[in-house]
Structure 1
Amino acid sequence: MSATTAVVAGDDEDGIGAALENAGVDVTRVMGVVSRPQLEEAGVVEADLYVLTDVGQATTIPIVCDLNDAVRTVVYANRTVPEFVKGQLDIAIDPQLMDADIVVEELVD
């Protein structure tokens, strides 16, 4: 069985990327204004998880879903997700409500 892979986009102030790495997930990080080429270069086409920590970059979720039908999309941020992406989102969690380690347990198991 191959290792779980994740692309984490955004500043990740709440440590979901580190929690994923601690759980043995191969994490690639994308910072700044995220584009389709950056996502492709980061490996989202083969990734198991796409974790967005900046709701301002929500337009990346439809792009990721277009590139990878099997990816699980996660928003880990304290802002509300825009309506236009909710249909393509697997889960949205507020870091103030659930610790990153608990979220990762659910995502990886």
Structure 2
Amino acid sequence: MSTSTTTTAIVAGPDEDGIGEALENEGVDVARVNGVVSRPQLEEAGIVAADLYVLTDVGQATTIPIVCDLNDDVRSVIYARDSVPEFVKGQLDLAIDPELMDASLVADELVD
């Protein structure tokens, strides 16, 4: 990446497939949010200025509209094995199944 600023990401949910670590290996500044994700948690983690929001638990897909409301420029990604709910597909930039794409490859694509 040839920009002078560091890419920032919020990884929400359990990270069993290592997307957070893969992003860090690409030089991304990663904040993590666990448990039931709320708007105040997202704000505290820095979502307003984040470049990426990576959700690993589709059960918390309701956070996608919140994130998009807080940050018009954020790229929202679901990195999970489960199907993405219909109501969120219009606001989602990318949905990837970890069984189809390794975390390091996804991180590389997200940063480039």
Please state which band the TM-score falls in when normalised by the shorter chain.
Answer: over 0.9
Q: How does 1:13-92 map to 2 (within 5 A)?
A: 13-92=16-95
How far residue 49 of structure 1 moved from its aligned partner, in angstroms, is: 0.1
How far residue 76 of structure 1 moved from its aligned partner, in angstroms, is: 0.2
Alpha-carbon distance between aligned partners in 1 of 2:46 and 2:83, rounded to the nearest angstrom: 26
SS of 2:48's partner is coil
Q: What TM-score, normalized to structure 2?
A: 0.97
Residue equivalent to 2:100:
97
Moved over 2 A (4+): none
How far residue 101 of structure 1 moved from its aligned partner, in angstroms, is: 0.6
Alpha-carbon distance between aligned partners in 1 of 2:25 and 2:13, rounded to the nearest angstrom: 19
After superposition, the CA RMSD in angstroms is: 0.4
2:49 partner amino acid:
E
The alignment-based identity, stated in percent, is 79
Alpha-carbon distance between aligned partners in 2 of 1:2 and 1:57, rounded to the nearest angstrom: 29
SS of 2:40's partner is helix
Unaligned runs of 5+ residues in structure 2 are: none
Q: What TM-score, normalized to structure 1?
A: 0.99
